[in-house]
Amino acid sequence: DDLQFNGIVIGIEENQLSSNSFSISPNPSSDFITVKFNDETVFPVDVLIYNCIGTIISKNSFLSQSNVLNISHWNKGIYTLQVRNEKSILN
Alpha carbon distance 37, 30 (integer Å): 21
8 Å CB contact between 46 and 85:
yes
The model's pTM is 0.76
Alpha carbon distance 40, 16 (integer Å): 9
Residue 11: predicted pLDDT: 60
The pLDDT of 34-53, averaged and rounded, is 93
The pLDDT of 15-31, averaged and rounded, is 83
Residue 9 backbone phi and psi in degrees, to 5:
-110, 130
Residue 40 backbone phi and psi in degrees, to 5:
-90, 0
Residue 8: predicted pLDDT: 66
Residue 86: predicted pLDDT: 87
